[in-house]
Structure 1
Amino acid sequence: MALTKILAVDDEPFNLEIIEEILEDLDFELRLANSGPECLDMVEDYMPQVILLDVSMPQMSGYEVCKTLKSNPSTAHIIVMFVSARGTVEERMEGYSAGAEDYIVKPFGHDELRSKLKNLNQVLVEKQSLEKQVEAATSTAFNAMANSSEMGQIVNYVESIALITNPDDLAKALIDCLQSFDLQSNVEFRYDSIVKHYALHGVCSPIVIELFEMLKNKGRLHEFSQRLLVNYELISLLILNMPGHDPDKHGRIRDHVCFIVSVTEQQLRAIITKNLLDAQQVKLNAVASTVHSKFHGLIDLLNENRLNNEQVFKKLQEELEVRIPTMGLDEDQEIFIYKKVDETIQNSVAREESVIQVKEAFADIETELSILLNHSQ
């Protein structure tokens, strides 16, 4: 039963004895008061759930006592049932106006009082159930609002780090995000054989660095006191002041922190990958530049050789045209020499065509390199 504590108030001891007799075998704690002032003196320490309050009392009437109780926020919730020898409509209306929840007329029997108390017990049960529902709904609403606000901060963080291209800037953004949750943090980044430490106030203490080293391979989460250590492959995070007074908030913040570290690790991987691709791009550009230079140097050399050959053959042809007629050769001999010279020149022309083919091949290679460079950027 929800009803366990009752206070009975009456200036007539006989009436109090009747109430005590009726309730003696029920599972109630019953206390008695002989006047309105005594009732008010007792009520805040005893804090009954129901007060059986006589209407007609000297010094202070039951109506006055009820109004005083209902005007006090700490006692306004107590159920008041008036006990009166008069039960007219006017009397009942005045009782309800004073703030009472029920009314019983003297003389009353055992069953009547017990029945009314049973009804009041049901009122208390339903009231407590409603209060719990309201409390749960209020808690849910506040948690939802808090979670919504926190998720807004996380969304802003995720959007902002997408533009970060430097690990140091990423670590600072992570620490600033956690600070927006009133969390003091230390961070360790591990990438490219580099280990870096970051803290809210600039420097991680030696003991924190040792803690990172000892626990980085010992599982995802470690909680001790108000500390929380979160490990990912590239990132370890130590929170120094997790909320300990509110289990719901503690669990919610822990989930947020794990998600934030996970997203940060993915961005760190993206930064590392981009830096690696940028470095490869620089090397590829250098290789393409070297190939281009070598190709054009070779083409220039081939062109120079071709021009030199042309000059040599032209000079040889001129000399032969001058010397052969003076050499006393017969016609067949002259024809033979001219034929050999002509074959040699034709072979030179064939080599020139090879040079053209080499140029075309080099041009194709340069085109392919250019396409490759454009795709990699």
Structure 2
Amino acid sequence: MSKLVLAIDDDKLAHCIIEEALASSCRLLHAKSGEEGIRLAQKYQPDIILLDVEMPGMNGFEVCEKMKTIEQTANIPVMFLSSKGSLCERMRGYNSGAADYIVKPFESPELLARIEVLDTYRQQSQQLKQDMERAQVTAEIAMTDSGDMGRIMRYVGQSYHAHDLTSLSEYFFEFFVPLNLSVAVVFWYHDSEVFFSHNGTIQPIEQELLEKHRDSNRFVDFGQRTIINYPKVSLLVKNMPIDDPGLYGRYKDLLPHILEATNAKIKDMEVSEDALNKVEKIGLAFEELSEQLHSVDEQHALKVAEFLALSHKMKSQLSPEQAAQIEKLHGHFEFLDGELTVIKEKLNGITVVRFELIESLNKIAKPWGEDEVASQTDIELF
């Protein structure tokens, strides 16, 4: 079934552009004001809402904030359409509840692609919502009596056994469940960034804000959101309790501990991966060297055989001085045979050590199996 998209914009031309871009792939509803858009959104509950910012009456930010308070429309992804593209405007759009933000004028393929991303986000969010609610109840029951330090120690122990970013993110998000914090995270791994969200999907605007604030201060507060930056990890808290100074201060003291542990873990993962890659390169180099040595050894053996046959054939024709030289050369060949044998033995020894080193590094990267890692409910901490 095609997606139902609601376009809210006071500009007739904008509606025509949206119609042309989406008519072949989406069903469209049109509203020319914020008030009309809210009514249509409540009545039809579209899959995606495209919302202009500058409108008479209620502006786009106000409309979005209003819809996020209404049960029927609260979970519908909203994409802002605006002629203003500054970071400040995008942050304001995100604070009002938007999932994406596109700057006018835009190309039809870009709009369609962004709608596909939001629709995927919507479907995944719906699918995961029930599982997340069950997981939250379980974790809250298991961790009700655990203090902050106990949760930090538990996470540090679990993160030690994470062998990839996905498993690390699972332990990471488990930490936040009893705190009732909704979060997204990006791991700055080597020269790439890997995004995760507590509900399984990250909104485009969240990704953009984390990227743009990577080199900002340690704490970046805007509205009820807070970004906390470390060299290898950045955290976005979507519902920081700024109206509760005590709880707000507690979280600001607590969260750097888990981020510092995560930052150290990612550095260790990078070092382990680099070490494995270097060992692999060394192994490939030795394999090439062994092949070359084998070829040299074969050629050497052939030439020695030819030399012995020729010297035996000419033995009766050689003077004593020539015979002595031949014998000397023969001794040199025997010396080379011995040296080649030693080199081959050493190469074989290095190959064995290489495999042992790979096993050791893999054990560091994957110390236990998944089923051997203690879960949140398996550990009791004071």
Instruction: Please report the TM-score for the alignment, with normalisation by the length of structure 2.
Output: 0.51
Identity level (%): 19
CA positional deviation for 1:269: 1.0
User: Structure 2 matches for 1:98-109, cutoff 5 A?
Assistant: none
Corresponding residue number in structure 1 for 2:309: 311
Q: Gaps (5+ residues) in structure 2?
A: 1-142, 361-382
Give the number of aligned pairs. Answer: 216
User: Structure 2 matches for 1:111-150, cutoff 5 A?
Assistant: 149-150=147-148
Corresponding residue number in structure 1 for 2:25: none
CA positional deviation for 1:182: 1.4
User: Structure 2 matches for 1:15-26, cutoff 5 A?
Assistant: none
Query: Which one of 204, 216, 220 corresponds to residue 218 of structure 1?
Result: 216
Q: Cα RMSD between the aligned structures?
A: 2.7
Corresponding residue number in structure 2 for 1:288: 286
- C-alpha distance after superposition, 1:58-100 (max 9, x if no partner): xxxxxxxxxxxxxxxxxxxxxxxxxxxxxxxxxxxxxxxxxxx
C-alpha separation in 1, matches of 2:184 and 2:269: 21
Corresponding residue number in structure 2 for 1:333: none
Q: CA separation of 1:271/1:215 partners in 2, compared to 1, >3 Å: closer, same or farther?
A: same
> Does the Cα contact within 8 Å between 1:170 and 1:268 map onto a contact in 2?
no
Question: Residue 180 of structure 1: SS of its match in structure 2?
Answer: helix
Q: Gaps (5+ residues) in structure 1?
A: 1-144, 325-336
Matched, 1:355 2:336: yes
Corresponding residue number in structure 1 for 2:324: 343
Corresponding residue number in structure 2 for 1:330: none
Query: Which one of 177, 187, 190 corresponds to residue 188 of structure 2?
Result: 190
Aligned-partner residue type, residue 272 of structure 1: E
Corresponding residue number in structure 1 for 2:234: 236
Q: CA separation of 1:172/1:214 partners in 2, compared to 1, >3 Å: closer, same or farther?
A: same
Q: CA separation of 1:148/1:169 partners in 2, compared to 1, >3 Å: closer, same or farther?
A: closer
C-alpha separation in 2, matches of 1:193 and 1:297: 40
User: Structure 2 matches for 1:237-252, cutoff 5 A?
Assistant: 237-252=235-250
Question: Residue 198 of structure 1: SS of its match in structure 2?
Answer: strand
Q: CA separation of 1:180/1:305 partners in 2, compared to 1, >3 Å: closer, same or farther?
A: farther
Question: Residue 179 of structure 2: SS of its match in structure 1?
Answer: coil
Matched, 1:299 2:297: yes
Q: Which has the larger radius of gyration?
A: 1
C-alpha separation in 1, matches of 2:255 and 2:338: 64
C-alpha separation in 2, matches of 1:310 and 1:249: 90
> Does the Cα contact within 8 Å between 2:185 and 2:196 map onto a contact in 1?
yes
Instruction: Please report the TM-score for the alignment, with normalisation by the length of structure 1.
Output: 0.51
Question: Residue 147 of structure 2: SS of its match in structure 1?
Answer: helix
> Does the Cα contact within 8 Å between 1:189 and 1:235 map onto a contact in 2?
yes
C-alpha separation in 2, matches of 1:180 and 1:275: 33
Corresponding residue number in structure 2 for 1:122: none
C-alpha separation in 1, matches of 2:307 and 2:276: 46
CA positional deviation for 1:372: 6.1
